[in-house]
Amino acid sequence: MDNNKVIIYDVSLRDGSHSISHQLSIEQISKYAQAAEKAKLYAIEVGHGNGLGASSLLVGQSKISDEVMLKTAKENLINTKLGIHVIPGFATINNDISKAIDIGVDIFRVASHSTEADTTQRHIGYIRDKGKEVYGLLMSCHMTSADILLEEAIKMQTYGAEAIVVLDSAGSMLPHDVRERIELLSKNLKIPVGYHGHNNLGLGISNSIVALESGAKILDASIKGFGAGAGNTQLEVLVGLLTKYDYETNIDLYGVLDLATLADKLLLKEAITISPLSIVSGLSKVFSGFSKHIQRISTKYDVDPRDVFFELGRQKVIAGQEDKIIDVAIKLNKLKGN
């Protein structure tokens, strides 16, 4: 990859699904895909917030099936690639990945917790054998040291991943945390490195620039920050800002600004902001996507959602452990003497 070339990967129609309880419609997906194509985006990621096969009572049910979402997006894309998020345990090879391949998904991003790359081996290997582009994603990278993160990334590289993306899933990392991890991975891997930021502490854009300056070749972003919690690195701001740097994205600036205008009417029920609870998510180092679950469960058990976040952080609870929220709420309720 050219030194000044950076891939901007749009996660709006996947990460943003968290903020609307996974209720994306056919109309929203089709209109967004058409506008993304006009903006010359490299790729858009589509699906349930937790990825392929994740729709369930535990983490939230999608309005429409994975198959309908992916077919709808694919029908409206020509040059822009279609990507999906895959977490082994949610997505199976036979029931989910094989169907996505048949639909024509271009990029499969196979994710695990930052210390559990072993779980991705079969999925990455299967997708590579089918001739599809596959990335390895390490979630909640703030919970792992840079050295261990590198060990896990090397595993994914060995399995066949063609890029490694590290996810600041709680939006809790400071610039020096990002620099340490991205520099180490970029210097020691043979494949491109990417960064996925959240804006809980207001650092989505700045951390993405730090990642770029530290060797990252792929940056995730969402239109208007449309994503879990306080949202992701804002796509339109990032693209605009990169025009002031010597980096090439091949994205049409006016097109992405038009996409932001469309998103206001098409996707956002309310503006994505840094709420007080989002700040707590970042400070407690707990996955941003837990916010709606924590608010709902805290109300049911009459406890302070901020206390729930901090207790989940102390227990080092990770994405996929949503059942722990209820356990913590019950514990806190008993401590109140209710």
Q: Are residues 229 and 310 in the same domain?
A: no
Q: Are residues 295 and 242 in the same domain?
A: no
Q: Are residues 156 and 291 in the same domain?
A: no
Q: Are residues 236 and 286 in the same domain?
A: no
Q: With cut-offs at 50, 70 and 90, classify the pLDDT of residue 102.
A: very high
pLDDT tens profile 39-69:
999 999 999 999 999 999 878 899 999 999 9
Structure tokens at 79: 């040059």
Q: Are residues 325 and 240 in the same domain?
A: no
Q: Would you say 29 and 13 are in contact if contact means Cβ atoms under 8 Å apart?
A: yes
Q: Are residues 296 and 235 in the same domain?
A: no
Q: Are residues 160 and 243 in the same domain?
A: yes
Q: Are residues 120 and 69 in the same domain?
A: yes
Tell which of 266, 290, 314 closes a domain: 266
Amino acid at 125: G
Tokens 């239109």 locate to: 223
pLDDT at residue 2, rounded to an integer: 64
Specify the CATH number for the domain of residue 322: 1.10.8.60
pLDDT at residue 289, rounded to an integer: 77
Position 320 in a domain: yes
Query: Is 90 exceeded by the pLDDT of residue 298?
Result: yes
Least confident residue range of 38-42, 146-150, 170-174, 333-337: 333-337
Q: With cut-offs at 50, 70 and 90, classify the pLDDT of residue 94.
A: very high
Position 1 in a domain: no
Position 97 in a domain: yes
Residue 11 CA neighbour count, 13 Å, CB half: 30
Q: Are residues 259 and 295 in the same domain?
A: no
pLDDT at residue 229, rounded to an integer: 83
Specify the CATH number for the domain of residue 173: 3.20.20.70
Q: With cut-offs at 50, 70 and 90, classify the pLDDT of residue 128.
A: very high
Q: Which residues contact 207 (CB under 8 A, 6 or more apart)?
A: 168, 173, 174, 175, 178, 195, 197, 233
List the catalytic residues.
18
Tell which of 266, 291, 307 closes a domain: 266
pLDDT tens profile 194-226:
999 999 999 999 999 999 999 999 999 999 999
C-alpha pair distances (Å), 126 with each of 52, 118, 327: 16, 14, 37
Count of positions (residues) in the chain: 338
Position 2 in a domain: no
| Domain count along the chain | 2
Q: Are residues 213 and 320 in the same domain?
A: no
Q: Which residues of 90-108 are buried (b: 16+ CB within 10 A; e: fewer)?
A: bbebeebbeebbebebebb
Q: Answer whether 0.85 is exceeded by the pTM.
A: yes
Amino acid at 139: M
Q: Are residues 154 and 241 in the same domain?
A: yes
* Rounded mean pLDDT, 255-259: 98
Cross-strand pairs, 193: 164
| Parent domain of 26 | 7-266
Position 329 in a domain: yes
pLDDT tens profile 66-93:
999 999 999 999 999 999 999 999 999 9
Q: Would you say 263 and 52 are in contact if contact means Cβ atoms under 8 Å apart?
A: no
